[in-house]
Amino acid sequence: MIPYGRHAIDEDDIRAVADVLRGGMLTQGPKVAEFERAVAAMVGARYAVAVANGTAALHLAALAAKLGPGDVAITTPNTFVASANCAHYAGARAAFADIDPVTLNLDPVALRAACRKLGKVKAIIPVHFAGLPCDMPAIKAVADEAGALVIEDASHALGASYADGSLVGNGRYAAMTVFSFHPVKIIAAGEGGMITTNDEALYRRLLRLRSHGISKGDYEFLNPEEAYQGDAVNPWYYEMQELGYNYRITDIHCALALSQLGKIDRFIARRRAIAARYDAAFAGLTAARPTQPDGRARSSHHLYVLRFDFEALGMNRGEVMRRLASDGVGSQVHYIPVHYQPYYRELGHVRGAYPHAERYYEQALTIPLYYGLTDVEIERVIAAVHKIAQPARRSATA
C-alpha cells in the first residue's frame, strides 16, 4: 500500500541519533539549542523555542499570548482540531471564519466579518493548509484593525514562502509561528514542535512555560533575597513564577530534526515536482480536480488534495477510498471541519455556518505525496485515480 504520507530516513539521520545516544546527554542538551538556532536562522526569526510536539507549541503560544477566560481566538474550520483546541486549553474559546474556496485557507473577507460580529477578538490563528501560505498581509491588516495578536499555525508549511518571497515564520506578519515535525510533515523529528518569534518577552515566557513555569539563570527573579548572594545568582537557584508544563523536547528528537533540516530544500523540490506531475495528469479530469492551483512555487506541499464530484462518479467517498486501496493506493481526508466535532457542537457551533469549508470537505480526498514516492509509484497513483475519475471515451459509432 502506498500511504498518503511517509517520512524519509537515511543513514545520516541514523548516525545523528546514534551520536546522541553515545554521548552524555539525551535531553535538555546542546542539540535542542542547536536546532532552535538553525530553524530561527533559516526562517529569519530572532528566536525559536523547541517543544515536544506541534500541539504543545500551539498551547504555549496561546498561553504566551495571554489568552484566557472571556477571550476569543478565530481560526479556520479546515484544520486539525489542535488549531482550535489551543484556545480552549488556555481557558478561552475558539471561533471560526470561512475559507477561500480556491486557496482553502482562512478568507480575509470572512475573517473581517467574523471579527466585527464578535466584537472583541484576542487572537487570530491562520493555518497554512497543505503548505500553501495564507494571505498574511491581508490577515495581518484585519488583525491590526481588530486589535488581535496573530499566531500562525505553520505545521504544514516549514520552508514555504509568503508572496513577498520571505519564508514563513520570520515574524513579519505574526507575533508567533508554530511548526510541527511529526513524521508525515516536511521534516521529521519523530515528534516535535517549534515556536518562532521576534519578541523577546514572548520568547522568555515560552521558555518558562515549556519547563513548569520555572525561571533560572539570567532571569529577573521575584524572590531576590533567595536568588542572590551579593551580586551573584546562587548556582542552584530556580524559581517557579507561573504554572507551566513539561513540554520539553529531547536531544534525540532534535538530532534527527537537525539532520532532516539539512535536506529540506531537496525534500521540498521533490514534493513540488510530484505536485506538478499530478497537476498535469489530472488536468483533463471532470470528476476530480486538483486544489490550490495558485502558489505552487511557494507551497511546501505537505499534502496533495483532489476535489471529487462523488455524485457524478456514482459512488461515495468511502467507496472511492476502497477502490483506490484495492489498487494499492492509500488516501485520507484533510479535514473533517472542526465545528462538526461533537465537542464543538456541544459549544453551539452548527453545520451550515461555513459553506466553503463544508463544501470542500464533501469533495476532499488526499492522495500520496512525500519525498520518497518513486516515479513508478506516482504512475500507479495516477493510474488508480484515472481508473475511477477518467471520463468514459465515446465509442466510434456514437
Segment 39-60, tens digit of pLDDT: 999 999 999 999 999 999 999 9
Mean pLDDT of the chain: 96
Which cell numbers in the block locate residue 248?
A: 520539553
Q: Is 349 exposed, middle or buried (0-12, 13-18, 19+ CB in 10 A)?
A: buried
Whether residue 335 is preceded by a cis peptide bond, meaning omega within 30 degrees of 0, is yes
Q: Give the confidence band of 31 by pLDDT, cuts at 50, 70, 90.
A: very high
Q: Give the confidence band of 396 by pLDDT, cuts at 50, 70, 90.
A: very low
pLDDT at 397 over 60: no
Q: What is the pLDDT of residue 376?
A: 98
Q: What is the pLDDT of residue 394?
A: 40
- With beta carbons less than 8 A apart as the criterion, state whether 357 and 77 touch: yes
- Find the mean pLDDT for residues 68-72: 98
Place of cell 482540531: 81
CA-closest candidate to residue 189, choices 268, 251, 127, 129: 251
Q: What is the pLDDT of residue 391?
A: 61
- Find the mean pLDDT for residues 328-349: 98
The structure's pTM equals 0.96
Which cell numbers in the block locate residue 281?
A: 495528469
Apex CA 220: angle with CA 216 and CA 223, to 5°?
85
pLDDT tens per residue across span 202-228: 999 999 999 999 988 767 899 999 999
**Contacting residues for 277 by C-beta, under 8 A, at least 6 apart:** 378, 382
Helix (H) or strand (E) holding 260: helix 251-261
CA 41/CA 189 separation, integer angstroms: 18
pLDDT at 119 over 90: yes
CA-closest candidate to residue 67, choices 170, 223, 175, 166: 175
Q: Delimit the CATH 3.40.640.10 region(s) of the chain.
A: 11-261
Which cell numbers in the block locate residue 142?
A: 484585519
Looking at CATH, the fold of the domain delimited by 11-261 is given as: Aspartate Aminotransferase; domain 2 (3.40.640)
Q: Is 122 a catalytic residue?
A: no
pLDDT tens per residue across span 281-314: 999 999 999 999 999 999 999 999 999 999 999 9
Looking at CATH, the fold of the domain delimited by 264-389 is given as: Aspartate Aminotransferase, domain 1 (3.90.1150)
- Marked catalytic residue, from 31, 140, 185, 387: 185
Q: What is the pLDDT of residue 22?
A: 96
pLDDT at 13 over 50: yes
pLDDT tens per residue across span 189-204: 999 999 999 999 999 9
**Contacting residues for 39 by C-beta, under 8 A, at least 6 apart:** 45, 48, 50, 169, 179, 194, 196, 261
Which amino acid makes up residue 233? V
**Contacting residues for 371 by C-beta, under 8 A, at least 6 apart:** 8, 266, 267, 270, 271
| C-alpha torsion 322→327→271→292, nearest 10 | -40
Q: What is the DSSP letter of 334?
A: S
CA 321/CA 332 separation, integer angstroms: 8
Q: Delimit the CATH 3.90.1150.10 region(s) of the chain.
A: 264-389
- With beta carbons less than 8 A apart as the criterion, state whether 385 and 367 touch: yes
CA 78/CA 323 separation, integer angstroms: 25
Q: Give the confidence band of 393 by pLDDT, cuts at 50, 70, 90.
A: very low
pLDDT at 360 over 60: yes
CA 123/CA 112 separation, integer angstroms: 13
Q: What is the pLDDT of residue 354?
A: 98
pLDDT at 398 over 50: no
